[in-house]
């Protein structure tokens, strides 16, 4: 993690230096600062740290930390980890973003460096209960609805059964009170599908479902040379919505080597934060499966189908099974297909 450590007293500075060295030994990028030596006000330092760092450590009073970070708070899925350590290094307190930001783990690490007592207050941790946000973080799943995630945590703490469904293989023992394959009042569904793309028979009435979305889908595309960015964007939008896929499930845009410098495809990948990969005609030809072949496309590219083969090639790059989830669709100047990597969900 990228960490900034701020202290307020001479003794606090000594503790901050110990933390800086200890965090570096653990592989973190840590820097210690003294408030007396800051060029800008503390408020500006904290604002910058919230933007640039993954964790912020206050060595001093918790009240100073609370007042300093209050104007910067944006949301539990966006805020960095914040912990507070007293100047003598006796206690390390997880203050903000305990799970998604990693503040609980950071407080434990700080405690191990200083020989201190960690203070963790998140209910699922102190009750040794299943935490849906930690589960999502561990498996790199996007949480569709943070409010629903909070309600599921409350249900877990009450001991209320929570349904669990996954469109992907599951490894490990499913913890109580989760019940696999049985719809309950509250439910968790690991899926690439959108709320409209119901792949698990969600009953709806009287129940709610939290979707946890893996980035396991690859969008394969072929296009005419010089196609407009607008045409590619619209094709991607229609392909995903028409196939019932959540846009957050896509991790890669893939095509053929001939399209390596195709501006519209490059811009689409950049705009959506996707990996951009191209494959040679020979590599695409080696992809096994039954494809919608075009002799015209073969004459231009050397392979009879670009989008389906590219999607599967991209989904198989991490040496896992890949499935063509949505076959070729034709849009103005663009063809598109979607493949999904068969990841494993782990408890």
pLDDT tens, 253-296? 999 999 999 999 999 999 999 999 999 999 999 999 989 888 88
pLDDT at 202: 76
**Residue pLDDT, tens place only, 92-126:** 999 999 999 999 999 999 999 999 999 999 999 99
**Residue pLDDT, tens place only, 122-138:** 999 999 999 999 999 99
pLDDT at 296: 83
pLDDT at 320: 82
pLDDT at 100: 96
pLDDT at 231: 98
Is residue 198 predicted with pLDDT exceeding 70? no
Question: How many angstroms separate the CA atoms of 56 and 299, rounded?
Answer: 57
pLDDT at 293: 84
Written as six digits, the tokens of 112 are: 């191990």
Q: Say if CB 284 and CB 256 are below 8 A apart.
A: yes
**Residue pLDDT, tens place only, 62-96:** 999 999 999 999 999 999 999 999 999 999 999 99
Question: How many angstroms separate the CA atoms of 39 and 164, rounded?
Answer: 52
Question: How many angstroms separate the CA atoms of 133 and 77, rounded?
Answer: 10
* Exposure string over 91-109, b if 16+ CB within 10 A, otherwise e: bbbbbbbbbbbbbbbbbbb
Q: What is the DSSP string of 44-68?
A: HHHHHHHHH-SEEEEES-HHHHHHH
Lowest pLDDT segment from 33-47, 158-172, 239-253, 289-303: 289-303
Compute the average pLDDT of residues 169-186: 96
Model confidence band, residue 199 (pLDDT cutoffs 50, 70, 90): low
**Residue pLDDT, tens place only, 328-342:** 999 999 999 999 999
Is residue 200 predicted with pLDDT exceeding 70? no
pLDDT at 292: 83
- Residue 52 neighbours by CB distance under 10 Å: 10
Question: How many angstroms separate the CA atoms of 260 and 262, rounded?
Answer: 6
- Domains of the chain with CATH codes: 2-127 (3.40.50.11220), 132-214 (3.40.1390.40), 217-346 (3.30.420.180)
pLDDT at 265: 98
pLDDT at 197: 59
SS3 string of 115-129?
Answer: CCEEECCCHHHHCCC
**Residue pLDDT, tens place only, 6-35:** 999 999 999 999 999 999 999 999 999 999
pLDDT at 286: 94
DSSP state of 25: H
**Residue pLDDT, tens place only, 228-251:** 999 999 999 999 999 999 999 999
């Amino acid at each position: 993690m990228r960490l900034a450590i701020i202290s307020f007293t001479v003794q606090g500075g000594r503790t901050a230096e110990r933390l800086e060295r200890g965090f570096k030994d653990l592989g973190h990028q840590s820097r210690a600062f003294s408030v007396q030596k800051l060029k800008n006000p503390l408020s500006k330092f904290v604002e910058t740290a919230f933007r640039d760092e993954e964790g912020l450590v206050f060595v001093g009073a918790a009240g100073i930390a609370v007042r300093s970070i209050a104007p910067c708070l944006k949301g539990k899925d966006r805020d960095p980890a914040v912990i507070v350590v007293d100047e003598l290094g006796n206690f390390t307190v997880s203050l903000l973003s305990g799970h998604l930001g990693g503040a609980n783990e950071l407080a434990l690490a700080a405690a191990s460096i200083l020989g201190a007592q960690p203070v963790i207050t998140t209910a699922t941790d102190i009750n040794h209960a299943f935490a849906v946000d930690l589960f999502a973080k561990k498996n790199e799943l996007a949480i569709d609805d943070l409010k629903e995630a909070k309600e599921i945590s409350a249900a877990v703490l009450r001991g209320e059964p929570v349904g669990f469904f996954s469109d992907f293989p599951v490894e490990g023992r499913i913890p109580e009170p989760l019940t696999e394959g049985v719809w309950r009042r509250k439910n968790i569904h690991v899926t690439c599908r959108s709320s409209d793309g119901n792949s698990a028979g969600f009953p709806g009435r009287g129940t709610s479902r939290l979707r946890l979305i893996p980035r396991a889908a690859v969008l394969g595309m072929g296009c005419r040379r010089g196609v407009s960015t607008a045409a590619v964007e619209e094709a991607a939008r229609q392909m995903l919505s028409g196939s019932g896929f959540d846009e957050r499930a896509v991790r890669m845009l893939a095509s053929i080597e001939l399209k390596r410098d195709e501006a519209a495809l490059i811009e689409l990948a950049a705009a959506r934060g996707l990996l951009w990969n191209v494959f040679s005609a020979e590599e695409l030809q080696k992809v096994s499966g039954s494809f919608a072949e075009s002799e015209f496309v073969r004459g231009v590219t050397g392979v009879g189908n670009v989008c389906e083969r590219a999607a599967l090639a991209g989904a198989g790059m991490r040496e896992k099974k890949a499935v063509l989830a949505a076959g070729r669709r034709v849009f103005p100047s663009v063809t598109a297909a979607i493949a999904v990597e068969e990841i494993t969900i782990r408890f």
